[in-house]
């Protein structure tokens, strides 16, 4: 009895998670990979969702995004990737360098949905789609193209490129560094102005 109860709860959870994936516009193969449901079951679920008055969500076809360099493209993407990675570490999706065992199976898919929902609630206009969030988690879990690291100045979690020539800093520390570099130049220019004003 208990075994069948457990199995029922697991199946229920799997379907709930698949519905989240559908709402987040995940591709069918991504939903299959993370929930273990068949393509046919996912399609039926999508149809049932529409019949229940669900919002028509675009069905993306073709390959999922695969370029991890996407997360390094702009400072906004770097910041949002770091925020999402931090949430994933807190929810046990990534070990964040602590060498703990990350969540697996359907619990991992549930944690991914929770992480993405939290990220969306923190960012007014998310730059990272759900499919890109999947790519980020998978890339960070492999730890080759991108890794979780700390800002060398303040220690805040960052997504870093292990092949970058300079150590990555968080936006705040980069701005502080840039301001410190600019300050002497400003002083010099002000001093030049003052010096100039003394000699009409
Ligand atoms: Zn910092």
φ/ψ region of 99 (left if φ > 0, alpha if ψ in -120 to 50, else beta) reads: left
pLDDT band at 197 (very low <50, low <70, confident <90, very high): very low
Q: Which residues of 124-161 are buried (b: 16+ CB within 10 A; e: fewer)?
A: eebebbbbbbbbbbebbeeeeebbbbbbeeeeebbbbb
Q: Is the pLDDT of residue 44 over 90?
A: yes
Tell how far the Cα of 194 is from the centroid of ligand 1, in angstroms: 35
Tens digit of pLDDT for each residue in 143-186?
Answer: 999 999 999 999 999 999 999 888 888 988 988 877 777 766 55
User: pLDDT of 69-100, one tens digit each?
Assistant: 999 999 999 999 999 999 999 999 998 666 66
Tell how far the Cα of 150 is from the centroid of ligand 1, in angstroms. 8
Distance (Å) from CA 78 to ligand 1 centroid: 13
Give residue 3's Cα distance to chain centre.
35
Distance (Å) from CA 155 to ligand 1 centroid:
6
User: What is the distance between the terminal CA atoms of the chain, rounded to a whole angstrom?
Assistant: 97
Compute, in angstroms, the gap from residue 148 CA to the centroid of ligand 1.
Answer: 14
**Mean pLDDT of all residues in the chain?**
86
What's the CA-to-centroid distance between 66 and ligand 1, angstroms?
Answer: 28
Residue 21 C-alpha to ligand 1 middle, in angstroms? 33
Please give the distance, rounded to the nearest whole angstrom, from the Cα atom of residue 174 to the centre of ligand 1.
7
- The answer to whether residues 14 and 6 touch, using CB atoms and an 8 Å cutoff, is no
Distances (CA, A) of 197 to 42, 183, 184, 187: 75, 21, 20, 15
From the CA of 158, how far away is ligand 1's center (Å)? Answer: 9
Ligand 1: centre distance to CA 123 (Å):
20
Q: How many angstroms separate the CA atoms of 118 and 20, rounded? A: 13
For the chain, the domains span 1-62, 65-169
């Amino acid at each position: 009895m208990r075994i069948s109860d457990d199995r029922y709860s697991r199946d229920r959870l799997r379907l709930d998670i698949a519905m989240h994936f559908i709402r987040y516009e995940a591709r069918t193969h991504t939903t299959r990979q993370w929930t273990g449901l068949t393509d046919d079951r996912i399609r039926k679920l999508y149809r049932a969702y529409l019949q229940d008055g669900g919002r028509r969500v675009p069905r993306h076809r073709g390959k999922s995004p695969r370029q991890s360099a996407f997360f390094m493209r702009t400072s906004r993407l770097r910041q949002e990737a770091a925020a999402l990675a931090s949430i994933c570490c807190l929810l046990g999706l990534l070990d964040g360098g602590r060498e703990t065992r990350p969540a697996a199976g359907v619990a991992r898919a549930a944690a991914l949905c929770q992480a993405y929902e939290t990220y969306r609630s923190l960012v007014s206009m998310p730059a990272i789609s759900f499919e890109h969030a999947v790519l980020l988690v998978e890339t960070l879990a492999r730890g080759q193209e991108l890794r979780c690291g700390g800002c060398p100045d303040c220690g805040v979690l960052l997504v870093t490129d292990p092949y970058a020539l300079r150590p990555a800093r968080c936006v705040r520390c980069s701005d502080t560094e840039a301001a410190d570099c600019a300050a002497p130049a400003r002083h010099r220019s002000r001093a030049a102005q003052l010096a100039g004003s003394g000699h009409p």
